[in-house]
Amino acid sequence: MLTTVRALLPHVFRSSRKAPPVLCGVLALVLAALPLAVSYRMEIPYAVTLIRVVSVTVALGVAFALDDPASPTTQVTPTSNLLVRLTRIALSALPLVVVWLGALLLCRAAVPAEARPYLPVGGLALEATALLVTTLAFAAVAVRVSAPTHGGLAAMPGLLLATTAVTLLPDDVQPFAGPGSTRWDASRWFWLVLLVGAVVVLASLLGEAGHRRRRRSPAVAAPAAEQVPATAEHEARSRRSVA
């Protein structure tokens, strides 16, 4: 499997959209670095708000992770769709997770030292993870029901609209509860449920579509054993011809 992933990486990287994650990553880091740049000592509520903005920005970056214009032509390849899509997600999400951690450190550094222990890092990480996975789930739904290139088109605006609507909810049901507020613990349950729901939706949509799975013949479904020698022979021939 590792060999397959290693072989997939350059092709998946080449066919992935780079601009959205790069733009969002840079924007997230710039936003997180602003308070330090202007020497502003942030209070905990402001730091939490900034980290939440960074989390939304990072989540926007993975919106296009599942967009693959070539996917109709690669439906019948022996490599599983699940593996290809997980590789695509990893390529977009892992650097953005590193960006989020960097942004968190930048925001934390802008908080006075005595207040830093009160920054609810765990709860904010849960929010960020839920936002990221929800964006991916949104994109996966759009890719499945619409077109292979419509994931980001739907997920980016969808995330923005949903986040804006959530911030307008009344205080007693506000998922973006203030740190230290009486609603904080209860609001964590919302994010946990959202995360679990998004993981379930994403997991069910990343693999083959049901009808395609059924139509696959055993020969196509498990060709790996025959493929390896064929590839090796082909490579040997190529080497001979080059020589």
Partner 1 sequence: MTGTSLAPAPTSRPPVTPRPRGAVSALFRIEAVRLLRHPAVLTGLLLYLALWAYEWGTGGLAHRYPVLQDEDRYSQVPLLLVAAGAFIASNLALTRAQRSGVAAVTDLLALAPWRRTLAQLLAPLPLAMLSGLLVGARVAHLAAAPGAVGRPSLLELATGPLIVLLAGVAGVAVGRLTSMVAVGPLVILGMAIFTLVGAVTLGRPMLKWWGLVAIEDEFEPPLPADLMHRPVTAHLVYLAACAAVCCAVALARSGVDRRIGVTAVGVTTVLAVVAGAGQSVTVPGDVAARRSVAEREPSAQQTCRTVDTVTYCAFRDFEGRIDQWSTLVGGMLRHTPPDRAADRYVVRQRLLFGATTSSVSISPPLAVWAADDARAGTPGAVPVGTKWGTDQIGGDAMLSFAGHFAARVVTGEPPTEASALSVCRSRAVLVLWLAATATEETTAALRSLLPRTGGSVVLPLLDSSLGLSIGRQEVSVVRSLLDRPADQVAQQVIANWAELTRPETGTERAASLLGTRVLGPAAEGARC
Going by C-beta distance under 8 Å and a sequence separation of 6 or more, which residues neighbour residue 46?
none
Binding residue for partner 1 (CB under 8 A) from 70, 171, 212, 233? 171
Query: Which 30-69 residues touch partner 1, going by CB under 8 A?
Result: 31, 46, 49, 53, 56-57, 60, 63-64
CB of 165 to partner 1, least distance (A): 4
Instruction: Check residue 29 for interaction with partner 1 (CB under 8 A).
Output: no
Query: Which 96-115 residues touch partner 1, going by CB under 8 A?
Result: none
Triad 174, 203, 69: Cα angle to 5°: 105
Give the residue among 88, 63, 55, 60 at the shortest CA–CA distance from 139: 63
Going by C-beta distance under 8 Å and a sequence separation of 6 or more, which residues neighbour residue 5?
83, 87
Binding residue for partner 1 (CB under 8 A) from 158, 178, 179, 197? 158
Q: Which is nearer to partner 1, 80 or 149 (CB)?
A: 149
- H-helix or E-strand containing 197? helix 184-206
Q: Which is nearer to partner 1, 28 or 195 (CB)?
A: 28
What is the rounded distance in angstroms from the CA atom of residue 62 to the CA atom of residue 56? 10
Q: Are 80 and 208 in contact (CB under 8 A)?
A: yes
Instruction: Check residue 20 for interaction with partner 1 (CB under 8 A).
Output: yes
Residues of the shown chain interacting with partner 1 in the complex, contacts defined by CB under 8 A:
17, 19-20, 23-24, 27, 31, 46, 49, 53, 56-57, 60, 63-64, 149, 152-154, 156-158, 160-162, 164-165, 168-171, 182
